[in-house]
Amino acid sequence: MTDRVAPLSVHPIPDEITGPWWEATRESCLLLQRCVGCSHVQHYPRAMCTKCAGTDLEWIEAQGIGTIDSFTIVQRPPSPAFEVPYVIARVCLAEGPTMLTKIIDATDEELVCDATVSLDWEMLSDGHQLPIFRITNPQ
């Protein structure tokens, strides 16, 4: 886990759908939802399956690996609390879903589409954590 603290002044407000996901982040665990009816895996947490509309969903732990399929380097911060530059990427998880996340500690040469990434965590001041990723197969 990284020793970085995310610059968020607003913290998540877990509800009955997102609560288990946020609680798992306290333990550095990335959860995904899987539909019991059709086995579809999805992220972010929802009340129903995005494939079959089933409502019998279970939580599974993600492997914590994926590949970058798109990214951008943010040069202008959305607020003074954010240090630039930073990288936001769409990561295709090994289980199938994609997630928008931050990539840390990547050089310009390493930062390419199809780069393999692994899960890391960024601490929030309330004890929750944000899943972030780092490149694992430098080119």
pLDDT at residue 5, rounded to an integer: 54
Residue 55 lies in a domain: yes
Give percent of the chain above pLDDT 90.
80
62 and 119 in contact (C-beta within 8 Å)? Answer: yes
Reduce the DSSP state of residue 134 to 3 states and report it.
Answer: strand
In a domain, 94, yes or no: yes
Is the bond preceding residue 44 a cis peptide, omega within 30 degrees?
yes
Q: CB 12: neighbour CB atoms within 10 A?
A: 15
Query: Greater confidence, 63 or 80?
Result: 63
Contacts 24+ apart (CB under 8 A), 9-14: 9/81, 11/124, 11/125, 11/126, 11/128, 12/124, 12/128
Residue 43 lies in a domain: yes
**Residue 11 belongs to some domain of the structure:** no
7-42 per-position pLDDT tens digit: 555 678 899 999 999 999 999 999 999 999 999 999
- Which pLDDT belongs to residue 79? 87
Rg (C-alpha) for the chain, rounded Å, is 16
28 inside domain = yes
CATH number for position 81: 2.40.50
111 domain residue, yes or no = yes
The count of structural domains within the chain is 1
26: tokens are 């306290």
Instruction: Return the pLDDT at 139.
Output: 54
Question: How many CA atoms are closer than 13 Å to the CA of 114, on its beta-carbon side?
Answer: 1
Q: So what's the pLDDT on residue 81?
A: 82
C-alpha angle with apex 110: 109 to 115, nearest 5 degrees?
140
pTM of the model: 0.88
